[in-house]
């Protein structure tokens, strides 16, 4: 009787409910223990109470995350919207300095001179005084850690001759590597209402720095920099907070908000990312950490199968070449002195030229030198080195100049040798040097028999009566547009004709002309001049761009 009472339905239901309550209590305790164990682990990386911390609601916000090994986009928000780069600008300043180091035009020990303009830059700065100098290696570390604006201008002026000239090269370089929406007007990132970039472009630059200059890129991992009696820490605090982050640059102005480009390596995976428009450094860093941690698991752990240059239909080799025709914005060659268009070569050996200082070089006139009667005229394109090899730049320069001197000696004194229409004879005048060294001797260069054989009397025009001295080339002032830089003057002229044919009306009443870049004779700009104002130049550019022709409006 008692055995049957134990299994009554009411008693069974009661026992089942008690057992279920005990099980649920046990599971809840275990889960609470697990959560308690995990919490301090996540806190060591970044707070995740709110994934974006409110940053995404900012009108300046943009972000972009790319798997560097494959080029796959893992996160994108407002990535092509224009943003002010602030000190992210210095990434491009360093890219160009790395180009100069790679070409061996400067070394880590080269000392850059400080101008009054550089010294007067607003903070953050190193505090350099006019007349001081700084070694290239120290300049790099000062930009990476202190984000020193005075040092950025020092680099710009010593490489480009002026900050404005260097900024033009920055924009040209941006186009070469695929940064289609970035325009630079200074080397530091200090406020400029027309200086823009995008989150996508900054990731492109961050990847290009690593791919093109893997050795120099390591400077971006610098944690501190000793200068004088002080030790300067890196502004990029995410390197210390998040394992695997190896750089690269922070930036802030009131207009830009807090910007950051980061690179992270974990488990053989590599991401490069940008965040722009944060309201504080902490908010920006937290959001960047969140993006990196969420995305790293989706990145490839295999070998690198993509290249930022190939993705943008560029190549590292083309990027190396300052005379690349891939851009309509050809940079100025950083020669010590602007080169005059024609060079008068004397038959008798000329005396060594006086040294030219940097200050004089910056102020040197660009008008052509008009020779006196008696010496043959040789165009700049005639003295360009032939078959220049990458490792023998100095020797090839000597050889090219020696070929020019050989032509001067072998041709009659009254004959004009030029790529342009024949010019009248001129008197002997000493060689105009574009470098601080005397002209090379014929004994120092090898000249092929083919080159000498080409100098036959069959190529000499008939002697003509004396004519007035040639007039200097006209200077095109005011607003003009540039459609490209081309390998040879003929290619530039053909481009002008093609552009005029495509557009018609807006270019019908303006003058097309070509202009040599850097005096080498290799690269020629194709330009149109004669626009009454900026609006007319901009309208012409818009018409060209609609026809898929690159164009830049500028004021001469």
Task: In whole angstroms, give the CA distance from residue 117 to residue 114.
Answer: 8
- Whether 336 shows a pLDDT value over 80: the answer reads no
Asked if residue 248 has a cis previous peptide bond (ω within 30° of 0), the answer is yes
Q: Average the pLDDT over 155-175 and give the result.
A: 97
Query: How many residues would you count in the chain?
Result: 556
- Report how far apart, in Å, the C-alpha atoms of 138 and of each of 187, 202, 224, 324, 374 are: 17, 24, 12, 30, 51
Q: Has residue 19 been placed in a domain?
A: no
Confidence of residue 322 (pLDDT cuts 50, 70, 90): very low
- Residue 113's pLDDT is 97
> In terms of domains, do 257 and 399 share one?
no
Q: Which of 107-111, 113-117, 280-284, 466-470 has the lowest mean pLDDT?
A: 466-470
- SS3 at position 295: helix
Q: Using CA atoms in the order 181, 186, 192, 197, what is the torsion angle rounded to 10 degrees?
A: 20
Contacts made by residues 156-159, CB under 8 angstroms, sequence distance 24+: 156/93, 156/186, 156/187, 157/112, 157/113, 157/115, 157/117, 157/118, 158/112, 158/113, 158/358, 159/96, 159/97, 159/100, 159/106, 159/334
Q: Average the pLDDT over 282-290 and give the result.
A: 95
Q: Mean of the per-residue pLDDT values for the chain?
A: 73
Task: In whole angstroms, give the CA distance from residue 337 to residue 340.
Answer: 9
Task: In whole angstroms, give the CA distance from residue 424 to residue 406.
Answer: 20
Q: Average the pLDDT over 48-69 and give the result.
A: 81
- SS3 at position 64: strand
Residue 200: phi and psi, rounded to 5, are -65, -45
- Whether 32 shows a pLDDT value over 50: the answer reads no
The pLDDT tens digits of the residues spanning 120-148 come to 999 999 999 999 999 999 999 999 999 99
> In terms of domains, do 165 and 276 share one?
yes
- In the structure encoding, which two tokens stand for residue 147, read together? 């984000």
Task: In whole angstroms, give the CA distance from residue 9 to residue 15.
Answer: 10
> In terms of domains, do 92 and 235 share one?
yes
- Residue 348's pLDDT is 41
Confidence of residue 548 (pLDDT cuts 50, 70, 90): confident
The pLDDT tens digits of the residues spanning 496-540 come to 988 888 887 778 788 889 988 766 667 788 899 988 888 888 888
- Residue 351's pLDDT is 42
- Residue 545's pLDDT is 86
- In the structure encoding, which two tokens stand for residue 94, read together? 């360093």
Q: What is the CATH number of the domain that holds 269?
A: 3.40.710.10
DSSP code for 330: P
> In terms of domains, do 305 and 258 share one?
yes
Residue 534: phi and psi, rounded to 5, are -60, -35
> In terms of domains, do 393 and 540 share one?
no
- Whether 459 shows a pLDDT value over 70: the answer reads no
Task: In whole angstroms, give the CA distance from residue 32 to residue 488.
Answer: 75
- Residue 16's pLDDT is 67
Which residues contact residue 113 at a Cβ distance below 8 angstroms, ignoring those fewer than 6 apart? 131, 132, 133, 154, 157, 158, 358
Q: Average the pLDDT over 472-477 and give the result.
A: 59
> In terms of domains, do 211 and 250 share one?
yes
Q: Has residue 47 been placed in a domain?
A: no
- Whether 549 shows a pLDDT value over 50: the answer reads yes
> In terms of domains, do 68 and 158 share one?
yes
Which residues contact residue 36 at a Cβ distance below 8 angstroms, ignoring those fewer than 6 apart? none
Structural domain including 62 reads 55-320
Q: Has residue 468 been placed in a domain?
A: no
The pLDDT tens digits of the residues spanning 219-255 come to 999 999 999 999 999 999 999 999 999 999 999 999 9
> In terms of domains, do 308 and 178 share one?
yes
Run of H or E residues at 211: helix 199-212
> In terms of domains, do 390 and 438 share one?
yes
Task: In whole angstroms, give the CA distance from residue 489 to residue 472.
Answer: 19
Run of H or E residues at 261: strand 257-266
Q: What is the CATH number of the domain that holds 493?
A: 3.30.70.1070
Q: Which of 88-92, 95-99, 187-191, 435-439 has the lowest mean pLDDT?
A: 435-439
Closest CA to 371 of 426, 409, 430, 416: 426
- Among 29-33, 82-86, 348-352, 396-400, name the most confident range: 82-86
- SS3 at position 196: strand
The pLDDT tens digits of the residues spanning 480-498 come to 899 988 878 888 888 998 8
Q: Has residue 8 been placed in a domain?
A: no
Handedness of CA 306, 308, 312, 318 (dihedral sign): negative
> In terms of domains, do 182 and 123 share one?
yes
- SS3 at position 368: coil
Q: Has residue 32 been placed in a domain?
A: no
Q: Has residue 157 been placed in a domain?
A: yes
DSSP per-residue string spanning 144-155:
HHT--HHHHHHH
The pLDDT tens digits of the residues spanning 404-432 come to 444 433 333 333 333 333 334 444 333 33
Q: Has residue 119 been placed in a domain?
A: yes
User: What is the number of domains present in the chain?
Assistant: 3
- Whether 453 shows a pLDDT value over 70: the answer reads no
Q: Average the pLDDT over 370-386 and give the result.
A: 33
Within 44-100, strands assigned E span: 62-67, 72-77
Task: In whole angstroms, give the CA distance from residue 21 to residue 3.
Answer: 26
> In terms of domains, do 401 and 519 share one?
no
- Residue 533's pLDDT is 87
> In terms of domains, do 243 and 368 share one?
no
Q: Has residue 173 been placed in a domain?
A: yes
- Whether 347 shows a pLDDT value over 80: the answer reads no
């Amino acid at each position: 009787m008692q055995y049957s009472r134990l299994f009554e339905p009411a008693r069974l239901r009661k026992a089942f409910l008690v057992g279920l309550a005990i099980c649920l209590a046990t599971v809840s305790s275990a889960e609470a223990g697990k959560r308690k164990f995990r919490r301090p682990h996540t806190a060591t990386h970044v707070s995740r109470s709110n994934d974006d911390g409110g940053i995404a609601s900012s009108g300046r916000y943009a972000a972009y995350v790319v798997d560097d090994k494959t080029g796959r986009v893992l996160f994108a928000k407002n990535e092509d919207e224009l943003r002010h780069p602030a000190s992210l600008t210095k990434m491009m300043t360093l890219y160009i300095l790395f180009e100069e180091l790679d070409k061996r035009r400067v070394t880590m020990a080269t000392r850059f001179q400080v101008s009054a303009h550089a010294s007067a830059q607003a903070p953050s700065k190193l505090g350099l005084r006019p007349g001081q100098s700084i070694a290239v290696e120290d300049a790099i570390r000062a930009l990476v850690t202190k984000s020193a604006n005075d040092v950025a201008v020092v680099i710009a002026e010593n490489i480009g001759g002026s900050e404005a000239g260097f900024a033009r090269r920055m924009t040209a370089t941006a186009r070469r590597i695929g940064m289609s929406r970035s325009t630079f007007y200074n080397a530091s990132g200090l406020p400029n209402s027309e200086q823009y970039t995008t989150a996508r472009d900054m990731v492109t630059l961050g990847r290009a720095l690593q791919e093109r200059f893997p050795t120099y890129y390591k400077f971006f991992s610098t944690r501190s920099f000793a200068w004088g009696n002080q030790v300067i820490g890196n502004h990029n605090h995410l390197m210390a907070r998040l394992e695997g982050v190896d750089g690269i640059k922070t930036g802030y102005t009131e207009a830009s908000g807090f910007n950051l480009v980061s690179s992270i390596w974990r488990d053989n995976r590599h991401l490069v990312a940008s965040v722009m428009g944060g309201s504080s450094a902490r908010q920006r860093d937290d959001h960047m950490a969140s993006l990196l941690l969420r995305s790293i698991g989706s990145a490839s752990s295999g070998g690198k199968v993509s290249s930022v240059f190939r993705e943008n239909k560029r190549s590292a080799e083309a990027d190396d070449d300052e005379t690349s025709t891939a851009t309509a914005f050809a940079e100025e060659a950083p020669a010590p002195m602007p080169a005059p268009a024609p060079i008068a070569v004397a038959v008798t050996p000329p005396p060594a030229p006086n040294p030219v200082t940097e200050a004089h070089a910056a102020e040197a006139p660009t008008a052509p030198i008009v020779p006196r009667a008696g010496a043959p005229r040789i165009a700049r394109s005639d003295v360009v080195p032939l078959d220049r090899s990458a490792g023998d730049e100095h020797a090839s320069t000597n050889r090219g100049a020696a070929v020019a001197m050989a032509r001067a000696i072998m041709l009659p004194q009254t004959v004009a040798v030029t790529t342009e229409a024949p010019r009248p004879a001129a008197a002997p005048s000493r060689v105009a040097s574009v470098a601080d060294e005397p002209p090379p001797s014929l004994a120092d260069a090898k000249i092929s028999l083919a080159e000498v054989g080409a100098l036959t009397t069959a190529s000499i025009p008939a002697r003509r009566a004396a004519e007035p001295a040639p007039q200097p080339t006209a200077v095109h002032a005011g607003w003009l547009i540039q459609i490209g830089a081309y390998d040879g003057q003929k290619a530039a002229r053909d481009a002008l004709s093609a552009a005029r044919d495509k557009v018609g009306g807006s270019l019908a009443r303006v003058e097309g002309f070509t202009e040599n870049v850097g005096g080498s004779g290799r690269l020629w700009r194709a330009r149109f001049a004669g626009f009454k104002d900026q609006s007319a130049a901009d309208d012409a550019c818009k018409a060209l761009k609609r026809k898929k022709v690159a164009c830049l409006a500028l004021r001469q």
